[in-house]
Amino acid sequence: MDSLTVRVLDTDTVSQCKEKILEAFCKNLPFSQWPQVEDVDLEWFAFSSRGFILRDLDDTSIMEDGRKKLNTLSHYKVNDGASLAMSLKDQRDNTLGRVKDLDTDKYFHLVLPTEDILENKKSHRQSHRKKVLPEIYLTRLLSTKGTLQKFLDDLFRAVLSIREDRPPLAIKYFFDFLEEQAEKRGISDPDTLHIWKTNSLPLRFWVNILKNPEFVFDMEKSDHMDACLSVIAQAFIDACSISDMQLGKVRSCVQRGASLSTLYY
């Protein structure tokens, strides 16, 4: 039986803890081969060789204002360095979905939400963001940009670079067709032809792949990954655009991509 040390939080629900353990054990496997959180039991060996199964909801769950609080590791008092075992269930339990899909009218995670608290948090967050963004977020943004720059450059280069003596036949045929159609219809504006090519290949095909890598790779796309990929896809769209862009300090990737797209067409 394999064993690993997995870092989790006291505030993690049982399902969140399962997700982290599954990721640690299955990270080198295709995502389609991962067991689902609902298919496994998490067992805690607290005081004896007999295990205790941890669940998001059970008879010990706390009830507040008509809502059940999801059980966390802190709720079960799971100590640091505890021994836990994960095993496949004999029968799938469909009584509780994934934590992020739960009905918030019936369940809550850490703090019982109220309209006043949510409204106060929202206004505080908005005012705080205006103050913090210039000083802290820009520094973090530039640091992250430095880490990712090479990978983005390599991505844009792989998509938009071709050998002049051996262009992809399908793309060359299609672009030649667009140029013939422009010539037949007396369209001499190069911008129009550029837009045709951009709409037909980069925007219809490559942007879809960049935003949805799970179409090509056997992987899970999390919510935060989806947001990051949308930013990268937008940078790719900007690189293929002929309109003037108001670029800020983080602009080198888009500029290089624009040069590549011009050569590609």
Query: How much is the pLDDT for 214?
Result: 94
Specify the range with the lowest mean pLDDT, choosing from 92-101, 141-150, 170-179: 92-101
Query: How much is the pLDDT for 92?
Result: 58
Query: How much is the pLDDT for 55?
Result: 92
Q: Which residue has the higher pLDDT, 256 or 241?
A: 241
Query: How much is the pLDDT for 148?
Result: 87
Q: Which residue has the higher pLDDT, 258 or 214?
A: 214
User: What is the percent of the chain where pLDDT is above 90?
Assistant: 27
Query: How much is the pLDDT for 198?
Result: 86
Given a cut of 70, whether residue 76 has pLDDT beyond it is yes
Query: How much is the pLDDT for 210?
Result: 93
Report the CATH number of the 14-112 domain: 3.10.20.90
Q: Which pLDDT band holds residue 250 (cuts at 50, 70, 90)?
A: very low
The dihedrals phi and psi of 169, each to the nearest 5 degrees, come to -60, -40
Question: Tens digit of pLDDT for each residue in 201-227?
Answer: 888 899 999 999 999 999 989 888 999
Indicate the domain borders of the chain.
Answer: 14-112, 130-264
Q: Which pLDDT band holds residue 197 (cuts at 50, 70, 90)?
A: confident
Average pLDDT, the chain: 81
Q: Which pLDDT band holds residue 177 (cuts at 50, 70, 90)?
A: very high
Q: How far apart are CA 86 and CA 20, in angstroms?
A: 12
Among the listed residues 210, 119, 114, the one whose alpha carbon sits nearest the alpha carbon of residue 160: 210
DSSP letter for each residue of 209-252: HHH-GGGTSS----HHHHHHHHHHHHHHHHHH--S-----SS-H
Answer whether 46's CB lies under 8 Å from 81's CB.
no
Sign, CA torsion 248/252/253/258: positive
Cα Rg, the chain, nearest whole Å = 26
Answer whether 161's CB lies under 8 Å from 179's CB.
no
Specify which of 35-49, 100-114, 119-133 reaches the highest per-range mean pLDDT.
35-49
Range 21-32 average pLDDT: 92
Given a cut of 60, whether residue 132 has pLDDT beyond it is no
